Amino acid sequence: MPAEYPRGFTNEYVRVSLITTLIKDREYFYSPYKFQTNHDDVKVLDQNPIYVPVQTCRGNDSMK
């Protein structure tokens, strides 16, 4: 993880999102398309954004 990233959180996540942009004003909005987070349970809704938990690996700054 980059040194500038705040550390010491109990849980750390990467936010993954589909976005759409307005070229003129350089704004962005979440896309109406969503990620299918579970294909076995129809009660689990598709989402955008999703949050993926991450952990640092011992001995280096890479991620699992």
Q: How many domains does the chain have?
A: 1
In this predicted structure, what is the pLDDT of residue 46?
93
Q: Are 52 and 16 within 8 A, CB to CB?
A: yes
Structural domain for 33, as ranges: 1-64
Sequence-ordered list of residues with C-beta below 8 angstroms from that of 34, at least 6 positions apart, any chain: 18, 46, 47, 48
Could you report the per-residue pLDDT of 5-30, keeping only the tens digit for each? 666 666 678 888 988 877 677 778 88
Could you report the per-residue pLDDT of 44-58, keeping only the tens digit for each? 999 998 988 877 665
